[in-house]
Amino acid sequence: MSHGTTGSDDARNDFVISVANEQSRHAVDEEQLAAAMRAVLAKSPFSSANVSLAIVDDPTIHQLNRRYLEHDWPTDVLSFVLDERDGHLEGEVILSADTAAASAAEIGWSVAAEQLLYAIHGALHLAGYDDKTAADARAMRAAEVEFLRGFGIEGPQHAERGRAVGGRSTARSYDGASAK
C-alpha cells in the first residue's frame, strides 16, 4: 500500500488533492488521478479545494455504500461534499480499484483509464454535476469524455452498457453514487 499527498505543481496551487491507496491488488497512478481531479476542479465554480481521494477494494466500498447511501452492493465511486463556502470546497472521493479492474476487462480498455474515469466522475460530482436525470447524465458523460481526452484517452463506445465510456456494466447498473 502506498499513501501520499499530491499537491498542484501548476499555477493553481489552490486545489490540493490528497491520495491514499488503501488496496494492493491493482496498480494505481496516483499522480494522474490527482491531476485529473485538479483539472476538473480548476474548471468548477470553486476557487480552492482540499479533496481526499481514497482507492479501496470492493469490500470496503461496499461497506461505505451501505453505510452512507443504503445501497447493499459495491459501487465504482463515491463522492462526498464535506463543506463548501466562500468559493472553497472540502470533499472526498472514494473509488474501487477492484470494480475498475473488472469493468475495464469487460469493456476492453485499461484499468488505469477506468480508474481515471472514476476520479473524474467523482470530481465532477464535487463540482456540482449530477446524473439523476437523462439530461444531467448526458452533460456529465460529455464532461467525462472531455476530461479523458485531455489525458489522451478515448473511451470505448459501448451503447449496450448505458454509458459512452467506462463505468459499471448494465448487468450491475451504474450508479456513480454521490452524497451531498
- Tens-place pLDDT, residues 124-152: 999 999 999 999 999 999 999 999 999 99
Give residue 168's pLDDT. Answer: 36
pTM equals: 0.82
Q: What is the mean pLDDT of residues 48-55?
A: 98
Q: What is the mean pLDDT of residues 87-94?
A: 97
54/32 Cα distance (integer angstroms): 14
95/32 Cα distance (integer angstroms): 14
Calculate the average pLDDT of the chain. Answer: 84
Give residue 55's pLDDT. Answer: 98
- pLDDT value at 66 more than 90: yes
Residue 112, beta-bridge partner list: none
Q: What is the mean pLDDT of residues 156-168?
A: 40
* Ramachandran class of 87: left when φ > 0, alpha when ψ lies in -120 to 50, beta otherwise: left
Take residue 26 and report the three cell numbers written for it.
Answer: 491493482
Domain count of the chain?
1
Give residue 156's pLDDT. Answer: 64
Comparison of pLDDT for 15 and 167, the residue scoring more: 15
Q: What is the mean pLDDT of residues 103-123?
A: 95
Q: How confident is the model at residue 12 (pLDDT cuts 50, 70, 90)?
A: low
Comparison of pLDDT for 11 and 119, the residue scoring more: 119
**Residues of the chain above pLDDT 90, percent:** 77
- pLDDT value at 50 more than 60: yes
C-beta pairs of 149-153 under 8 Å, 24+ apart in sequence: 150/39, 151/32, 151/35, 151/36, 151/116, 153/113, 153/116
Q: Which domain holds residue 144?
A: 3-179
CATH number of the domain bearing residue 58 = 3.40.390.30
**Residues of the chain above pLDDT 70, percent:** 79
